[in-house]
Amino acid sequence: MSLTFYWYPNCGTCKKAKKWLDEHEVSYTTVHIVEETPSEEELSTIIEKSGLSARKFFNTSGKKYRELNMKEKLNDASEEEMIKWLASEGMLIKRPIVTDSNTVTVGFKEEQFENQWKQ
């Protein structure tokens, strides 16, 4: 099983998740979420496979989220609008996102990684 690991190298949560994957010898390919921001199509697929709403993919504690006043904008936004915003600015995306093309996890909770990604 090879995973795709969407991350931002300066993100503390991403570093913890990467450390967990390395310690458990899980193979993955990294994607820098800002330099290689997923397209609307990619995000739609990821969001659909996660079973979560697009709203759950926003990094609500991020500076960009506050700068762009996203909290206000999300109230009346459609799923399509949310995906468009996420695809336009990698720093808006909650991270890390880990996927094996079938399953998706967002953020890092050790217990969730244990259940999902331990080989």
Cα dihedral value 80, 85, 87, 93, nearest 10: -110
The pLDDT value given to residue 11: 95
For residue 32, give its domain range.
Answer: 2-117
pTM of the model: 0.94
CA distances from 40 to 37, 54, 90, 93, 118 (A): 9, 11, 11, 12, 29
Domains in the chain, number? 1
* Structural tokens at position 84: 């468009």
pLDDT, tens digit, 9 for 90 and up, residues 94-107: 999 999 999 999 99
pLDDT, tens digit, 9 for 90 and up, residues 36-61: 999 999 999 999 999 999 999 999 99
The pLDDT value given to residue 6: 98
pLDDT, tens digit, 9 for 90 and up, residues 68-103: 999 999 999 999 999 999 999 999 999 999 999 999
CATH number at residue 112: 3.40.30.10
Question: Max alpha carbon distance in the chain (Å)?
Answer: 43
